């Protein structure tokens, strides 16, 4: 779980909060996705077809927020908000600050919330200038690392598979299944891994969502010896930082497909136990509906982790105004608008995961 909170991030970058609900009982999964499911992927009523047999008692880790930039001052404020937030107890909360602020966050953040890095090196530390080793992350108190984030894949160029070129002999092997191998090394050293997957808009439009997600899952599965400390984060790239959140149905159908992939390719037990969280424009307004979906076990949150949850109530009151001056000015009814700040938005998101559990 990783909360990389926006508070830990500064303008122009998306922080990431992820909330993870705590783990859960093993459930029977009867759903099996057939190949034909791919062609049905876009159908409107897919929610029903893709609904799994899991029950809501499953715990969820669901809050990771991190930021990719920030300042000492903005981070102090975010940490203070996190420390005072009322967070339900059965949600694991993780914050993933930028590397340079991890120490500051670690030294000021409540123990209730764990810390994640946003990336780590593929193997044991050594002469890899500019990289951060897993050993160093552990040394400063990190418990988690986010790997395979879409920005690392599509902006930095990290990949699951071998690259078309090799920088030098020493790096040849590293570039084979780069992301999976990073995950394997982090796990071997005791860090939890938030393993990100997700399709580009073009890939979704071409009907390749499952193919892309399954390929990314395979790269992790081929490399990791155990899924015990892995949380899968499904983040459709087109939803990250765009304000275009996946609908609950769109998210659920991918989550259940990924769970089914785990069942078929790893084991029934791993499929049942692995927490699959959703990321991509999650906020205080849309989290509750997403959290109701059976296979959404929490969230990886960016921008919303920097904000406050504001409830706007607009009330139109049909009131005849007899007061002379008002009447003359033509005001026949009064509209009242209320804005109520109910706390940090990440708290709303974390607690939505708990509400799902309670409701179920
Ligand atoms: O990047 C993200 C999480 O890693 C998601 O960011 P947003 O919540 O801002 O879309």
Nearest CA to ligand 1 atom 8: 302
What pLDDT sits at residue 125? 83
CA of 128 to the centre of ligand 1 (A): 28
According to DSSP, residue 323 is labeled S
Quick one: pLDDT band at residue 102, thresholds 50, 70, 90? very high
Which protein residues touch ligand 1 with a CB less than 6 Å away?
14, 16, 149, 240-241, 279-282, 300-304
What pLDDT sits at residue 312? 59
Nearest CA to ligand 1 atom 5: 302
Mutate to test the pocket of ligand 1, among 282, 298, 346, 348 (most ligand atoms within 8 A of CB): 282
Neighbour-count burial for 2-18, b at 16+ CB within 10 Å, e otherwise = bbbbbbbbbeebbbbbb
CA of 286 to the centre of ligand 1 (A): 14
What pLDDT sits at residue 337? 54
Lowest mean pLDDT among 6-10, 80-84, 194-198: 6-10
Q: What is the distance between the alpha carbons of residues 7 and 213, in angstroms, rounded to a whole number? A: 30
What pLDDT sits at residue 196? 96
274, 197 in Cβ contact below 8 A? no
Nearest CA to ligand 1 atom 7: 302
Nearest CA to ligand 1 atom 6: 302
Q: What is the ipTM of this complex?
A: 0.98
CA of 126 to the centre of ligand 1 (A): 31
Nearest CA to ligand 1 atom 2: 302
Report the nearest atom of ligand 1 relative to the CA of 282. 8
Of 151, 150, 152, 178, nearest in space to 164 by CA: 178
Q: CA distances (Å), 196 to each of 111, 119, 261, 278, 280, in order?
A: 25, 11, 15, 10, 11
The residue with greater pLDDT, 224 or 343, is 224
List pLDDT tens digits, range 293-336. 999 999 999 888 877 766 655 555 444 444 444 445 555 455 55
Mean pLDDT of 339-343: 64
Nearest CA to ligand 1 atom 4: 16
| Phi, psi (rounded to 5 degrees) for 294 | -60, -35
Residue 12 has pLDDT above 60, yes or no: no
CA of 96 to the centre of ligand 1 (A): 12
CA of 144 to the centre of ligand 1 (A): 17
CA of 334 to the centre of ligand 1 (A): 39
231, 194 in Cβ contact below 8 A? yes
| Cβ neighbourhood burial of 262 (10 Å; 0-12, 13-18, 19+) | buried
What are the residue numbers of the active site?
149, 235
The residue with greater pLDDT, 54 or 226, is 226
pTM across the whole model: 0.78
Residue 44 has pLDDT above 70, yes or no: no
Residue 160 has pLDDT above 50, yes or no: yes
Pair type for strands 192-197 and 230-234:
parallel
Q: Which domains does the chain have, with CATH numbers?
A: 59-329 (3.20.20.70)
List pLDDT tens digits, range 169-194. 445 444 456 899 999 999 999 999 99
What pLDDT sits at residue 350? 86
Report the nearest atom of ligand 1 relative to the CA of 243. 10
Quick one: pLDDT band at residue 20, thresholds 50, 70, 90? low
């Amino acid at each position: 779980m990783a909360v990389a909170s926006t508070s830990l991030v500064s303008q122009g970058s998306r922080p990431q909060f992820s909330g993870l609900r705590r783990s859960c009982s093993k459930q029977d999964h009867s759903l099996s996705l057939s190949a034909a499911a791919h062609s049905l992927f876009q159908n409107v009523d897919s929610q029903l077809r893709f609904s799994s047999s899991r029950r809501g008692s499953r715990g969820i880790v669901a809050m990771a927020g991190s930021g990719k930039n920030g300042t000492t001052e903005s981070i102090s404020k975010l940490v203070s908000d996190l420390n005072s937030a009322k967070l339900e107890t059965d949600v694991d909360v993780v914050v993933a600050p930028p590397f340079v602020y991890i120490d500051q966050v670690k030294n000021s953040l409540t123990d209730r919330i764990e810390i994640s890095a946003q990336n780590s090196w593929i193997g044991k530390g050594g002469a890899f200038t500019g990289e951060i080793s897993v050993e160093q992350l552990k040394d400063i108190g990190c418990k988690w690392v986010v790997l395979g984030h879409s920005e690392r894949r599509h902006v930095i160029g990290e990949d699951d598979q071998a690259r078309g070129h090799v920088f030098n002999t020493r790096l040849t092997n590293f570039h084979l299944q780069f992301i999976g191998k990073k995950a394997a090394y982090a796990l071997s050293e005791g860090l939890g891994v938030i393993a990100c997957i997700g399709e580009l808009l073009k890939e979704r439009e071409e009907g390749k969502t499952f193919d892309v997600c399954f390929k990314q899952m395979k790269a992790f599965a081929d490399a990791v010896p155990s899924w015990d400390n892995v949380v899968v984060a499904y983040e459709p790239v087109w939803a990250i930082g765009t304000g275009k959140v996946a609908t609950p149905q769109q998210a659920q159908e991918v989550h259940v497909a990924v769970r089914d992939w785990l069942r078929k390719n790893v084991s029934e037990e791993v499929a049942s136990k692995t927490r699959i969280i959703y990321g991509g424009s999650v906020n205080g307004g849309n989290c509750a509906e997403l959290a109701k979906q059976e296979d959404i076990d929490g969230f990886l949150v960016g921008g919303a982790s920097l904000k406050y949850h504001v409830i706007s109530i607009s009330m139109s009151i049909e009131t005849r105004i007899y007061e002379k001056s008002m009447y003359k000015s033509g005001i026949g009814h009064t509209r009242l608008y209320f804005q109520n700040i109910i706390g940090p938005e990440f708290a709303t998101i974390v607690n939505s995961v708990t509400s799902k559990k309670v409701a179920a």
